[in-house]
Structure 1
Amino acid sequence: MYFIAAIIAFGVLILIHELGHFTMAKLNGVVVEEFAIGMGPKLFSIKGKQTQYSIRILPFGGYVKMLGDQEKSDDPGAFNNKSPLQRLSIVIAGPVMNLILAIVLYSVIGSLGGFHLPIVDKTVPSSPAEAAGIKSGDQLISINGSRILTWEDFAVGVGLAKDKPINLTVKQEGTLKKYTLQSIVDKETKTRIVGVYPTAVTSPTILQSIGYGFRETISMIKQVFISFKILFTGGASINDVGGPVTIIKITRQAAIAGLIPLLTIVAFLSSQLGILNLVPFPALDGSYVLVCLYEIVTGKAVDENKVSFINTIGFTILMAFMVLIIIKDIVLPVNF
């Protein structure tokens, strides 16, 4: 049952993403030939007035096939005959929908379970924080130059610093103060800490929950870029990269743990899916966004045959990478 819940949760992310593309395509008068959830052979399909709606066997993706999105068409309802601004709105709608979903889910999570603010509730006796002079009520502003919006931002910053000195800026009684302190390893959790407890909001208002939803989503977006930096600077290996199999396993574990853990992992994945799709790599939404922006700024049309060829290469690379990651997931599975 929990495995099915994980598949459904993963499917919702894809559905929301593709629904964004589909809705904006319809609003812009584009003919949508197929709306597919999943990849590979069709399990079943329903033919609408203009669009075929299908569920495919592999729950690892989806697509909206529009007239004129791969080959030129003279039909006024073709994607290629729409203005750059119209095409941009269609392409960007998928990632935007994922980011909106993340905000909504984090808002619900905050409303149901409360959340922590990056404000010091108390310090641990004899801890680095107490020794430095950090006090109850101090607002954590930045860590090693990175803005702190959520408690998670602070915790991640402490972890990334490892055994190096931490430059922390706090607002203490209305005045900005800077501290340099050294983290220590917690004996129980084996994670790095400086010895501060966050302020808990246990019964947030609707506006507080929505604010938390926005802040948490922004924080998750920041984590994407931090992850890229770690990956490309050699701080992570291929064993740290998880594919669809790993994602579904983790989602299943979250479902077993309860509603809030499940919503948390779905919100996290939705924010990641939204921002990663905006990366300007061929075949991703980000590459189409780049093309549309170029045409809007320069007023010049890009050769669609060249774009299609480049995207085909990009798609092939992505699929090859996906296959390797899935093999890695199976050969080196995540243990629970």
Structure 2
Amino acid sequence: MGAVFQNIGHILMAIIAFGILVIVHEFGHFILAKINDVRVDEFSIGMGPKLFGIKGKETEYKVCLLPIGGYVKMYGEDDEVTSSDPRAYANKSSWQKLSIVLAGPIMNIVLAILLFAIVGRVEGVKIPIVSQLIDNSPAQQVGIKAGDEIKKVNGNEVVSWEDFVTGIMLSEGKEVNIEVKRENETKEFTIKPELDESKKQYLVGIYGSIKTPTIVEAVKHGFGETVSLTKQTFGFFGQLFKGQLSADDVGGPITIIRISGEAARQGLTTLMFLAAYLSVQLAIFNIIPFPALDGGWTLILILQIITRREFNKEKIAKLNYYGFMVLMALMVVVLVKDIVRPIKF
């Protein structure tokens, strides 16, 4: 019975962690709306029917039944305002609207940097200095040794361990040129990475060294982790569009809860690392230039700023409506896939 309650506790921790990501995202929209003097009518965590809420001076803060995101409802956001009310979102400039739209993804990126920094400060960070090698690995076979400091991968400078990992991943199994510093001497090696079937990653058999960073170094590490993860995510999209990934590699909300629950079992720092990872994914997903997403609005607003004219509001509203319907349908498909063919890990 104790194990059951413990599992429930881990799942609740996972749900709370994901909820924090949504809160931070929506808070970005909320605070920039306030800065731009836009009236916010609702601040919702979750979608669908309301479970409970608190009415503030002018904003209702509520939690809804379906834990699949959230939203900030601004006065005049749907262009229902026909008056010249200065507090209506519809009557703000394109620059003001753009700052409100981008604030959500930016807050997720800031949160990711902070969480990665905290985890790095507590557990130490990997640096691109070889600590040991796997026996008979590609790196050992070409002559790389423990103590070598990795300086470049395919001509690209390596500042962090993430730079090295990203360089190997982007090679997609092709030969890579690795430059190392060994006792004040520069050496170059050509290595062909091997595919690790269990991790579905290309590896060369090198372990990095661990260092306990200062606070400034931890923040730099958090920034580096976020940049590296962003590159990896776009690399994932590239593989997806090339047909190099299958449906079994894609998960939805149930998969997120399962993985988050497992991370919670392994400790708070593991859960924080996963939360940082998901925060970056949430930011990237939202900036995809698709109707109804922040990225769709960003594209429209940038085009309006460039052309110095507003587009037809009815057409934009219709485009966003259909975009929202497509997103909801996709969410249902992913949810069903999560149940019928869950990712194995």
Q: Structure 1 residues 167 and 2 mapped into 2: Cα distance closer, same or farther (>3 Å)?
A: same
Which one-letter code corresponds to 1:27 in the other structure?
A: I
Deviation at 1:159, TM superposition (A): 5.3
Q: Aligned runs of 1:147-166 on 2, under 5 Å? A: 148-155=158-165, 157-158=167-168, 161=171, 163-166=173-176
Specify every segment of 5 or more residues in structure 2 that has no aligned partner in the other structure, as ranges: 1-8
Q: Single out whichever of 275-284 and 299-308 deviates more from structure 2.
A: 299-308
Equivalent of residue 210 in structure 1, options 186, 206, 219: 219
**Aligned with 1:55: secondary structure?**
strand
Q: What's the counterpart of residue 279 of structure 2?
A: 270
Matched, 1:102 2:103: no
Which one-letter code corresponds to 1:243 in the other structure?
A: G
- The CA distance in 1 between the partners of 2:305 and 2:202, in whole Å, is 48
Equivalent of residue 316 in structure 1, options 312, 315, 325: 325
Equivalent of residue 295 in structure 1, options 298, 304, 322: 304
Instruction: Tell me if structure 2 keeps the 8 A contact 1:150–1:219.
Output: no
Q: Structure 1 residues 146 and 251 mapped into 2: Cα distance closer, same or farther (>3 Å)?
A: farther
- The CA distance in 2 between the partners of 1:65 and 1:255, in whole Å, is 32
Which one-letter code corresponds to 2:315 in the other structure?
A: K
Specify every segment of 5 or more residues in structure 1 that has no aligned partner in the other structure, as ranges: none
Cα deviation digits, residues 36-59 of structure 1 (max 9, x gap): 000111101222221111100111
Which one-letter code corresponds to 1:280 in the other structure?
A: P
- The CA distance in 1 between the partners of 2:199 and 2:97, in whole Å, is 49
Equivalent of residue 242 in structure 2, options 199, 221, 233: 233
- The CA distance in 1 between the partners of 2:16 and 2:135, in whole Å, is 46
Q: Structure 1 residues 70 and 170 mapped into 2: Cα distance closer, same or farther (>3 Å)?
A: farther
Q: What's the counterpart of residue 102 of structure 2?
A: 92
Q: What's the counterpart of residue 8 of structure 1?
A: 16
TM-score normalised to the size of structure 2? 0.89
Matched, 1:282 2:291: yes
Deviation at 1:200, TM superposition (A): 1.1
**Aligned with 1:63: secondary structure?**
strand
Which one-letter code corresponds to 2:46 in the other structure?
A: G
Of all paired residues, the percent bearing the same amino acid is 47
Q: Structure 1 residues 227 and 147 mapped into 2: Cα distance closer, same or farther (>3 Å)?
A: farther
Q: Structure 1 residues 313 and 186 mapped into 2: Cα distance closer, same or farther (>3 Å)?
A: closer
Which one-letter code corresponds to 1:292 in the other structure?
A: L
TM-score normalised to the size of structure 1? 0.91
Calculate the aligned-residue CA RMSD, in Å.
Answer: 2.5
**Aligned with 2:128: secondary structure?**
strand
Deviation at 1:155, TM superposition (A): 3.6
- The CA distance in 2 between the partners of 1:325 and 1:144, in whole Å, is 37
**Aligned with 2:64: secondary structure?**
strand
**Aligned with 1:41: secondary structure?**
strand
Matched, 1:38 2:52: no
- The CA distance in 2 between the partners of 1:274 and 1:189, in whole Å, is 25
Instruction: Tell me if structure 2 keeps the 8 A contact 1:13–1:98.
Output: yes
Deviation at 1:34, TM superposition (A): 0.8
Q: Structure 1 residues 135 and 327 mapped into 2: Cα distance closer, same or farther (>3 Å)?
A: same
Q: Structure 1 residues 159 and 294 mapped into 2: Cα distance closer, same or farther (>3 Å)?
A: closer
